[in-house]
């Protein structure tokens, strides 16, 4: 009788072990199963989500084919149950275990927003508005209100105060916080350019340097020309000659600019029309990059007072009005010939 009981017990133990081994194999197979996705997928795990909630979300979004073995996996590997709320990026081929390891790591998805040199604040605001997963707080705010949010003086204009670059952010970050990062970056780069500037330049403040850099940024995209363009404007500032640069006129025109500048526009009295006002405009007109800032800080030593487009992507630089007018006529002839072809 005793032997029979021992035999039955042995069979039960063997069956239990076999069942456990079978179950463990199923759990491992489930853990190593790729998620049911064919492209990058953004997944948001809300604050306070537990095991049941996570399993439900994965099933709802059809990221796993079955949640049957999910609680068992977390029981066998409890370290995978320490997941953190956030927004994550799942990639094709990622297994269930790798997904849980990602949620446990707390390494949220990084998104990017790119601001290019020469763009304006209104361009930046449009980019921010179209950026997914960013908290939008700037809608309807004026430039002056944005300036105050950045810690600038009341009524200030934040144009030009942000460094153009690619910035990373996580879901839920606010647009104003991102602008603050770009603002701090510009302050740092501007201060470096100011500290390394030619001290004989006719600038009173770093903002003067920033303003001229923004004009240089709008006038040329050629690296080899920036310092020469800067020299023209510096030479004019030194002798009290008006800058007479079209980008400042365009900026002063605001939304009325339709791609053309008329004689009436050149004569209009605005705080930015350098055909009318002396010296620099009241604020920058765009976001300059580091190269333009360096050019403004250390312009080339030249006798040039004029430049005009040469029709080949660059500019012709001259020292006197007669030579400049000749270069203008050459440019116009080139345009005419090009249009007639």
Q: Per-residue pLDDT tens for 242-276?
A: 999 999 999 999 888 888 899 899 998 889 999 99
Buried (b) or exposed (e) across 15-29, using 16+ Cβ within 10 A? Answer: eeeeeeeeeeeebee
Inter-residue long-range contacts of 127-133, CB under 8 Å, 24+ positions, other chains counted: 128/175, 128/178, 128/179, 129/175, 131/175, 133/42, 133/87, 133/109, 133/169, 133/170, 133/171, 133/172
Tokens 């005419």 belong to 336
> Rounded to two decimals, what is the model's pTM?
0.84
Q: How far is CA 157 from the centre of its chain?
A: 20
* pLDDT tens, per residue, the chain with 341 residues: 556 555 555 556 555 544 554 455 777 888 888 998 889 999 999 998 888 899 889 988 889 877 777 888 888 888 888 889 999 999 999 999 999 999 999 999 999 999 999 999 999 999 999 999 999 999 888 888 899 888 887 667 899 999 999 999 999 999 999 999 999 999 999 999 999 999 999 999 999 999 999 999 999 989 999 999 999 999 999 999 999 999 999 999 988 888 889 989 999 888 999 999 999 999 999 999 999 999 999 999 999 999 998 888 899 999 999 999 998 888 888 776 666 66
Residue 331 dihedral angles phi and psi, to the nearest 5°: -65, -45
What pairs with residue 43 in β-bridges? Answer: 88
In 3-state terms, what secondary structure has residue 44? strand
Tokens of 215: 């004009």
Cβ–Cβ under 8 Å, residues 128 and 296 = no
Q: Domains plus CATH for the chain?
A: 26-105 (3.30.1490.480), 111-188 (no CATH), 198-340 (no CATH)
DSSP run (H or E) holding 112: strand 111-114
């Amino acid at each position: 009788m005793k032997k029979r009981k021992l035999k039955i017990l042995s069979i039960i133990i063997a069956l239990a072990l076999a069942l456990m081994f079978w179950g463990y194999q199923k759990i491992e197979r489930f853990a190593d199963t790729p998620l049911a996705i064919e492209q990058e997928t953004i997944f948001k795990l809300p604050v306070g989500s537990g095991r049941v909630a996570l399993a439900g979300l994965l099933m709802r979004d059809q990221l796993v084919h079955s949640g049957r073995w999910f609680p068992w996996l977390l029981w066998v590997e409890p370290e995978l149950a320490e997941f953190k709320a956030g927004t994550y990026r799942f990639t094709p081929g990622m297994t269930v275990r790798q997904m849980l390891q990602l949620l446990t790591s707390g390494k949220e998805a990084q998104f990017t927003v790119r601001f290019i040199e020469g763009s304006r604040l209104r361009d930046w605001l449009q980019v921010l508005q179209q950026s997914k997963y960013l908290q939008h707080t700037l809608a309807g705010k004026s430039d002056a209100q944005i300036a105050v949010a950045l810690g600038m003086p009341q009524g200030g204009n934040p144009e030009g105060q942000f460094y153009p670059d690619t910035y990373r952010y996580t879901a839920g970050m606010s647009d104003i916080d991102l602008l603050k990062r770009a603002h701090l970056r510009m302050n740092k780069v501007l201060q470096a350019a100011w500290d390394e500037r030619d001290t004989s330049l006719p600038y009173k403040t770093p903002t003067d340097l920033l303003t001229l850099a923004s004009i240089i940024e709008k006038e040329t995209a050629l690296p080899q020309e920036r310092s020469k363009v800067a020299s023209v404007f510096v030479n004019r500032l030194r002798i009290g000659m008006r800058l007479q640069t079209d980008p400042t006129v365009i900026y002063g025109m605001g939304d009325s600019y339709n791609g053309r500048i008329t004689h009436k526009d050149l004569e209009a009295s605005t705080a930015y029309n350098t055909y009318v006002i002396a010296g620099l405009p009241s604020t920058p007109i765009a976001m300059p990059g580091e190269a333009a800032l360096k050019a403004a800080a250390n312009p080339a030593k030249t006798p040039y007072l004029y430049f005009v487009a040469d029709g080949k992507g660059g500019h012709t630089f001259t020292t006197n009005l007669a030579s400049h007018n000749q270069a203008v006529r050459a440019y116009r002839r080139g345009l005419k010939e090009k249009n007639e072809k």
